[in-house]
């Protein structure tokens, strides 16, 4: 029994030795240089041509054109310069809430007929900047008899393009002048006040009246505002001492001598004079002539003293010699 086991063990050992020798020979054949291995399968790679930037842009543009043609996109444009974008953003109006438009106010019919067109009036000259108007101070104006008509003229010719507040402020200045001791008392005299150098309201001497047809709606509005201010039915916007104003495109020298009150539209309004000065355009009243010469007063005591002095002077004179 032991012999059989020994034989089996010896046979197993021999088989193991033989298998190890066989595997060693196979590994020796796999060493580099012994036998070339079979390369694995790899697909053939075809190198694509190098595409330039010009070609890529052309291809992209063709693709965009196709999308636009098919209605799948919009045309792309280059962005504007930064300066142009800033200007566009500045001009872009701010979003506003849509408000229902209010109907225009129906003005009552005017009581005063507007001035007729004067065919011989000189046409107005439009130039760049401000051009002082030509003032005709020799031709006497036609002054209306009604103060409301004069106030309506002042509003229409001085501020018809201003807001209602601006037109009412001009009417306030006229009324403030009529109540000021340095100006005429009547409204028409205030509106048509002039001297040898200028007129207080330019439209009365520069040919504005009758130069062109009057806008009936603006004339009716000016009369309504004149009535409201004249009758005290509108809220006051200026102090009582505000008797001067001018447009914002002129710089009169007297503007520095008055206290600036406020600006409404294109007109700048002023108040009292500074440093105790005087208002420009103040009404110059005729002064009473000063009494000249000496004042003599007759007195009885002086008369007696004069008589006594003359008598003493006569008695003291020497008498003339006889026979002379």
What's the pLDDT band for 190 if we cut at 50, 70, 90?
A: very high
Looking at residue 311, what is its pLDDT?
A: 72
Q: pLDDT per residue over 160-187, tens digit each?
A: 999 999 999 999 999 999 999 999 999 9
Q: pTM to 2 decimals?
A: 0.56
Q: What angle do CA 64, 65, 70 make, to 5 degrees?
A: 95
Give the burial string for 250-285 (b: 16+ CB within 10 Å, else e): eeeeeeebbeebeebbebbbbbebeeeeebbbebee
Q: pLDDT per residue over 273-308, tens digit each?
A: 998 888 888 865 444 444 444 444 445 666 677 677
Q: Averaged over 42-63, what is the pLDDT? A: 75
Phi-psi region at 252: left, alpha or beta (left = phi > 0; alpha = psi -120 to 50): beta
Q: Averaged over 83-90, what is the pLDDT? A: 66
Distance of CA 160 to the CA centre of its chain: 18
Q: What is the sign of the dihedral through the CA atoms of 21, 25, 26 and 32?
A: positive
Looking at residue 297, what is its pLDDT?
A: 47
Looking at residue 165, what is its pLDDT?
A: 97
* C-alpha distance from residue 245 to each of 162, 185, 193 (Å): 14, 19, 15
pLDDT higher than 80, residue 76: no
What's the pLDDT band for 132 if we cut at 50, 70, 90?
A: confident
121 phi/psi in degrees, rounded to 5: -70, 145
């Amino acid at each position: 029994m032991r012999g059989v086991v020994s034989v089996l063990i010896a046979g197993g050992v021999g088989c193991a030795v033989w298998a190890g020798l066989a595997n060693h020979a196979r590994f020796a054949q796999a060493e580099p240089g012994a036998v070339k291995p079979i390369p694995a399968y790899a697909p053939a790679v075809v190198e694509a041509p190098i595409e330039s930037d010009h070609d890529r842009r052309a291809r992209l543009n063709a693709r965009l054109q196709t999308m636009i043609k098919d209605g799948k996109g919009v045309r792309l444009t280059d962005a504007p310069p930064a300066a142009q974008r800033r200007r566009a953003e500045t001009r872009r109006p701010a979003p506003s809430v849509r408000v229902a438009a209010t109907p225009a106010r129906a003005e009552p019919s005017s009581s005063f007929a507007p001035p007729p067109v004067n065919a011989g009036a000189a046409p107005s000259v439009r130039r760049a900047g401000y051009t002082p108007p030509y003032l005709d101070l020799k031709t006497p104006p036609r002054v209306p008899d009604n103060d409301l008509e004069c106030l309506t003229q002042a509003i229409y010719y001085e501020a018809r393009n201003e807001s209602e507040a601006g037109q009412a402020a001009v009417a306030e200045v006229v009324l403030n002048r009529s109540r000021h001791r340095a100006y005429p008392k009547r409204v028409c005299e205030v509106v048509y006040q002039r001297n040898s150098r200028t007129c207080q309201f330019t439209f009365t001497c520069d040919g504005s009246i009758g130069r062109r047809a009057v806008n009936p709606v603006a004339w009716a509005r000016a009369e309504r505002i004149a009535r409201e201010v004249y009758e005290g039915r509108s809220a006051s916007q200026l102090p009582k001492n505000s008797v001067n104003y001018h447009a914002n495109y002129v710089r009169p020298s007297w503007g520095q001598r008055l206290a600036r009150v406020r600006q409404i539209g294109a007109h700048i309004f002023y108040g009292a004079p500074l440093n105790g000065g005087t208002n420009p355009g103040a009404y110059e009243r005729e002064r009473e002539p000063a009494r000249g010469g000496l004042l003599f007063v007759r007195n009885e005591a002086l008369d007696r003293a004069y008589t006594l002095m003359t008598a003493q002077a006569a008695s003291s004179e020497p008498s003339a010699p006889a026979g002379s």
